[in-house]
Structure 1
Amino acid sequence: MDPRTWDTDEVRRYLLLGTSPPDTEGVSGVGERAMVVGSTGPFAQLAGRQALAAGGSAVDAVIATSLAQIALAAGSWVSYAGVFTMTHFLDGRTDSLSAGFATFAEEDDPASIPRQPIASGRTALVPGFMAGVQAAHRRFGRLPWADLFEPAIFVAEQGFPVGLGRANQFALRKDVLPPGFHAVEGDEFRQPDLARTLRAVAAEGAEWMYHGPWAREFVDVVRAAGGKATPADLAAYEPVWDTPVTVDFHGAQVHAVGRPNRGGVALAEALRLAEGIGDPLTDPVALRDLIGVARQSGRPGGHSDFVLAVDSYGAVAAACHSINTSLWGTTGLFAGGVSIPDAASFQQATLAKLGPGEHLPSPANPAIVLRDGVPVLASSSIGAGLHCATLQCLHAVLGLGVDIADAVRRPMFHGPDYLAGDTVVTPVQDRLQGKRFGSAWQNAVQRAREAGVSREGMWDAVLADIPQVIEDRFDSDVLRRAEELGQRLTVRPVTEPSIPRGFWGGIALGDRLVGARTPFSGGTVEGL
C-alpha cells in the first residue's frame, strides 16, 4: 500500500487527474471481481484499487480511499475531524454505521452559538470520522490498519499538484487559513503536520485522536477560541452500529443507513412515494411528481465525498464522509494539521434538541440494494442536492430499468432555488456575502405567514413558492408542460456552478461489475 512501490508514472498521472477541469458527461467503467468508485480525488481511487488488489476488503478500499481523499482536499471539504457514514453487506447481512458529530457536554446554550462567518470555537463538535473508520475496520477489515494510511501519508509528505480550481480555493480562504497554509497553481502542496498526525494514528489507532495527544491539542485549540470541548467529550465518543432502514422498490429491497441519521429514512420514504412514477425525461406528470416526492420526503442537506466498493469476498460497502460545512469552515482552526469544522454554526436548532454526547442526525444516504438476498447495487451521494440525485438515479436504474452507465448521464433536477450551489464546486464568497442563499426562503416564509399558513403546513407552503433548479438538458416541451401542471422551475445551464447540485455514484453487481458516477465531481471508477 506504499505508493513509493507503485508504478511511478501511474501515480503521477492519477495525481495530475485531480487538477483536471470537471467532466460534464459522467463516468463509468467495468470490473470482473472487485471495484471502487469515488466522488473526488482520482489518486484516492487508485489507493482503493490497490487495497483491493492486495487482497483487502471492501471496507479496506473505502478507508484507504477516504483517508487519501481528505489529504488531497487539504481538509477543505472533508476532514479527519469530520463525519463518516456507511452501509455494508456481507454473508447475507446488512449493517449500518454512523459516526456523526456529537455534542459537547458543557455546551448548554446552543441557540447562542455564533453563525458563519463569525469565527468561534463554539462552532466545533466532537468529530466522528476516525472513530468510524476504525470501527468499520475492526469489524470488516482484512489489511493491516496502518497500511491503509500509506497513500494519505504519501500525499501529505510528498504533496499533491495544485490546479487552478484548488488555487482559487486557497485564495478565497486566505484570511481564514493559518499562515503558510496556502498554494498557487503549479505548486506541490505538502502537509508535514498532518503527515505526523497520520503516522501516529496509523501506529496507535484512533485512540490517538480520542484519548491521546491529538485529543488534548483539539481541546486546547477549541477552548482557546471560546469553545466548550473537554477531554471527556472525545473519550466518551462511540460510533453507532444499527440495522439499516429497508424499503421494497420495484421488486428490490433497498437497505439504507439507519439511526441516528435521517438520510436513510428520507430515502425510504421517497422510494415508497415514487413507486409507479413514469420517466421524468419524457412525461411532464412524472417530472412534476418526482420533484414533489423529493420535496416531500427530504429536506436539503449536503455532504462532501462518497466511496463505494465491492471486493472479491462478496462484501459491498457504500460510504459517505464530510466536513459538513463550507470549505475549511470559517474558523481556520487546526489541530495536528487536521482542519476543525465549524458545523455547529448552522445547526443550533438541532443541537438544542440533543443531550450531551448525542449524535447529530445526517442527511447522508448510502444504500445497498438486494434482490432475493443478493446485492445488485451500491449507492451513495453528496452535495446540496444529494437526496434529489439519489432518488432520480435509483428510480432510473430500479424503476425504469435504465443501465447504470446511462443513468448517470441523464438530465437531472437538483435542489430548491434558495440554495447557493454546492460548496465543493461553488465560490464560497456567495454564501459568506449572502448572495442568493436564504433570501428566497425568507421571502417565501414571510409570504406564508402573511397568508396565515399554520406551522404544520409551513414547509409545504414555502416550497410551493420556490422553484426547483433543473438542468437545461431536459426537453423544453416537457419543462413547459410540467410548469403548466403547477411545478415551478428554474432552468439553468448544466455547467452553471450555482446549481445546488447533487452528485451520485453507484456500482451495479451482476455478471460483471459496472460502476458509474454523475458529472462534475472528478472521481474515477476503478475495476479489477
Structure 2
Amino acid sequence: MGRTLLGSVLAASLAFVPAVLASGSAAAQPAILSGNDRVHPVAASHGMVASQEARASEIGLEVLKKGGNAVDAAVAVGFALAVTLPRAGNLGGGGFMIVHLAAKEGEASGKIVAIDYREMAPKAAFRDMFLDKEGNADSDRSRYSGLAVGVPGTVAGLAHAHKTYGSGKFTLAELIAPAEELARGGMAVSDDLAWSLGLAMLRLKKDPDAARIFYQPSGAPYGVGDTLVQKDLADSLQRIADEGPDGFYKGPVAAAIAKAVTDAGGAMTEDDLAAYEVKEREPVRGSYRGFDVVSMPPPSSGGVHIVQILNILEGFPLAASGFGSAETMHEMAEAMKLAFADRSEFLGDPDHVAVPVKALTSKAYADDLRKTIEKERARPAAEIKPGDPAPYESAETTHFSVVDADGNAVSNTYTLNFSYGVGIVAPGTGILLNNELDDFSAKPGVANAYGLIGGEANAVAPRKRPLSSMSPTMVFKDGALVLVTGSPGGSRIITTVLQIIVNVVDHGMNIAEATVAPRMHHQWLPDELRVEEGFSPDTIRLLTERGHEIAVKTTMGSTQSIRVRPGMLTGASDPRRRGAATVGY
C-alpha cells in the first residue's frame, strides 16, 4: 500500500446521500449524515466513523473498508482533522483516547485501555508563573503568551495507538498520507472553516505565520470554496511519516516549536519535547441501571464525574419523571453541582497528586450526596462545599468515534484548548500551538476561562498535566459494547456526555433523538443553570420557583456518537456545529 493509498477519497467533493433510519437495512454505499442536515440516525453493518468534519470521517471510513481496524481509522482521522479542522484538530495539542478491543475467539473478554496523551508543562514551569507582580492571576499569561503552551502529545498519542493496537495492515505513513495530501494539494474551504477563520482573524493575524497560512495575500479571510494550501504543515506531516514521532519531538520541528514558545515568552526547550511520554491508564468504570460505563480517568475529570453524577441520579426515577420535566432537570442540576464542587478540590494529575477515584465513584458516597438534595429547593452554590469522599486512594475541542466490523472501538477527544490554541504557528511547521496550560489553577480559587474553580491538586508544576474535562466514553451491557460517544465543550463536556447516556438509558431515545435533545448544564460556580433553547416555558418557570438562576445561552457540545446493536450500527453527528459527518458502510 503506497503513500497515495487513500488519495481517492480526496479527489472529488463529497456526495451526500440520504440517511438510513435505524429500522432500515444498511446501505450498500456509505451513508453520510452532515451536521447541516436534519438529523436521522445513520445505519451501517460493517463499520462507522463519526467526526466533526466530513472529509476526515470519509478518510477514516476508507481505512475501515481497506481492512483496517478502529484504531487504524482513528489515527487517520486524528491526523486528517489537523488539516481540515485546524481550530481544534491538531498536531500541537493533546487529548485522550479510549480503545476497546473486542474479545477474539477463545477469549472470555476483550480489552479496554485509556491512552493519555495530554499536554505537559515544561520542566521550567513553576507554581506561580501565571501571577502578576501583585500576586493576582493574569489571564494574558495563561491564555495568550508562550507560558500557556504545553508540550504537545497528539503525535505521540496517535503513534502509540497505531503501534500498540493497530491492525498491522497499515504503516503510520499510510495513515498520515491523506492528511498530507490535503495539506499539500489544498482543500476547498468549508463553511465552518470560513466562519471560524473570520471569527479568529484579529487574533491569528497578530502572528505572521498564522496570517500567511490562513488568510489571503490581501489579508481577507478565505471564503467558502476557496482553496487553502498548508504546505508547511504538509512538510511536517511528511517528516512524521518518514521518521515517526521523532520527526516531531526531535530535530527541526521540535526546534521550531521550542523557539516559537520561547519567543512568545515561554520557556519550552527541545529537551521538553524529547522527554514527552504517553501514559496508558486504567479507565474509570461505573454502572448505571444495569449498564457499564467506561470513561477517561485523571488527569481527565470527565470519567470520574460522569460516573459520580450517574451514581447520584440512579436513586431518582428519571424515566418516570420524564425528559425535560422540572423534576428531572432539578435532580440533574443538583447532582451536577455536587460533582463540580468535588472537582474543584480533588482532581489533578495522578502522577503528582493522590486523586480519590474509587471514593468519588463509589455508590456509598453517591448515596450520602443524594441525601443532601432537596426536592423543592435549589441549594445555592454558597451552601455546597467539596465533600468528604475519603478514604483516598473548548469549548474548542473535537471528538470522534469509530467502530469496526469486529466490534473494536475508539472514543477520542483532543484539543488545542481555545479555538486555534494560543494563535501562534511555529514558523516553518504549519503547526498551531495550544494554550492548554490555562487549564491549571493559576491561583487556587480563581476561575479559568471556562469558569472552573481549581485547587492545589491542579496547581502548576514542572512536567505536570493540567486537569481536563475531556470525556471519551463507552457504554456496555452484559459485556457487549452498546454506545461510543464524546464531545467538545470545555466544562460542559462532562454534562453533555452524561445527557447522551441518560437520554439513551432512561428516556429510551435513539441516537439521533439523544443527540438533538436540548441540553442543560450546572458546574456549581458560577451559580446558574445554563439551558439551551427548547425546554418548555412552564418547566423553566417551575425551576425558577425552586430557586434556580436560569441562563439561556448558546448551544452546548458537538457529540459524535455510535450506537451498537447486533448486526447494526447507528450513529449521529451533532447538528450544533457545521460540517460534521457520520459515515458507515
**Normalised TM-score (structure 1):** 0.82
Q: State the shift of 1:165 in Å.
A: 1.2
Q: 2: distance between equivalents of 1:138 and 1:244?
A: 20
Q: State the shift of 1:121 in Å.
A: 1.9
Q: 2: distance between equivalents of 1:332 and 1:219?
A: 11
Q: State the shift of 1:508 in Å.
A: 1.1
Q: State the shift of 1:214 in Å.
A: 1.1
Point out the more displaced range, 383-392 or 44-53. 383-392
Point out the more displaced range, 247-256 or 398-407. 398-407
Q: In structure 2, the residue corresponding to 1:226 is in which secondary structure?
A: coil
Rate the CA distance shift 1:125–1:507 in 2: closer, same or farther, 3 A. Answer: same
**Which amino acid is 2:222 matched to?**
V
Q: For 2:410, which of 317, 333, 339 is the aligned residue?
A: 317
- Please name the residue that 1:69 is paired with: 81
**Which amino acid is 1:128 matched to?**
G
- Please name the residue that 2:531 is paired with: 470
Rate the CA distance shift 1:176–1:333 in 2: closer, same or farther, 3 A. Answer: farther
Q: Contact (CA 8 Å) 1:83, 1:127: kept in 2 or not?
A: yes
Rate the CA distance shift 1:485–1:345 in 2: closer, same or farther, 3 A. Answer: closer
Point out the more displaced range, 58-67 or 294-303. 294-303
Q: In structure 1, the residue corresponding to 2:509 is in which secondary structure?
A: coil
Q: State the shift of 1:102 in Å.
A: 0.5
- Please name the residue that 1:49 is paired with: 61
Q: Contact (CA 8 Å) 2:6, 2:62: kept in 1 or not?
A: no
Q: Contact (CA 8 Å) 1:101, 1:125: kept in 2 or not?
A: yes
Q: For 1:253, which of 292, 296, 301 is the aligned residue?
A: 292
Which residues of structure 2 form unaligned runs of 5+? 18-32, 104-109, 133-137, 216-220, 345-393, 444-453
Q: Contact (CA 8 Å) 1:161, 1:187: kept in 2 or not?
A: yes
**Which amino acid is 2:180 matched to?**
I
Q: 2: distance between equivalents of 1:253 and 1:21?
A: 30
Q: Contact (CA 8 Å) 1:260, 1:361: kept in 2 or not?
A: yes
Q: State the shift of 1:222 in Å.
A: 1.6
Which residues of structure 1 form unaligned runs of 5+? 15-19, 417-459, 493-498
Q: State the shift of 1:313 in Å.
A: 2.4
Corresponding position: 1:180 with 2:286: no
Q: For 1:390, which of 497, 506, 523 is the aligned residue?
A: 497
Rate the CA distance shift 1:277–1:98 in 2: closer, same or farther, 3 A. Answer: farther
- CA offsets, 1:424-468, max 9 Å, x none? xxxxxxxxxxxxxxxxxxxxxxxxxxxxxxxxxxxx5x54xx332
Q: In structure 2, the residue corresponding to 1:219 is in which secondary structure?
A: helix
- Please name the residue that 2:571 is paired with: 515
Q: State the shift of 1:328 in Å.
A: 3.8
Rate the CA distance shift 1:235–1:333 in 2: closer, same or farther, 3 A. Answer: closer
Q: State the shift of 1:122 in Å.
A: 1.8
Q: State the shift of 1:135 in Å.
A: 0.9
Identity of aligned residues (%): 24
Corresponding position: 1:485 with 2:546: yes
Q: Contact (CA 8 Å) 2:90, 2:416: kept in 1 or not?
A: yes
Corresponding position: 1:502 with 2:527: no
Q: For 1:165, which of 180, 195, 204 is the aligned residue?
A: 195
Q: 2: distance between equivalents of 1:303 and 1:363?
A: 12
Q: State the shift of 1:329 in Å.
A: 2.2
Structure 1 runs (4+) greater than 6 angstroms displaced: none
Q: For 2:482, which of 370, 376, 390 is the aligned residue?
A: 376
- Number of aligned residues: 469
Rate the CA distance shift 1:13–1:7 in 2: closer, same or farther, 3 A. Answer: farther
Point out the more displaced range, 117-126 or 209-218. 117-126
Q: In structure 1, the residue corresponding to 2:407 is in which secondary structure?
A: coil
Q: 2: distance between equivalents of 1:221 and 1:115?
A: 20
- Please name the residue that 2:135 is paired with: none
Q: In structure 2, the residue corresponding to 1:307 is in which secondary structure?
A: strand
**Normalised TM-score (structure 2):** 0.75
Please tell me the root mean square deviation across aligned C-alpha atoms, in Å: 2.6
- Please name the residue that 1:154 is paired with: 181
Q: In structure 2, the residue corresponding to 1:101 is in which secondary structure?
A: coil
Rate the CA distance shift 1:331–1:199 in 2: closer, same or farther, 3 A. Answer: closer
**Which amino acid is 2:235 matched to?**
R
Point out the more displaced range, 288-297 or 113-122. 113-122
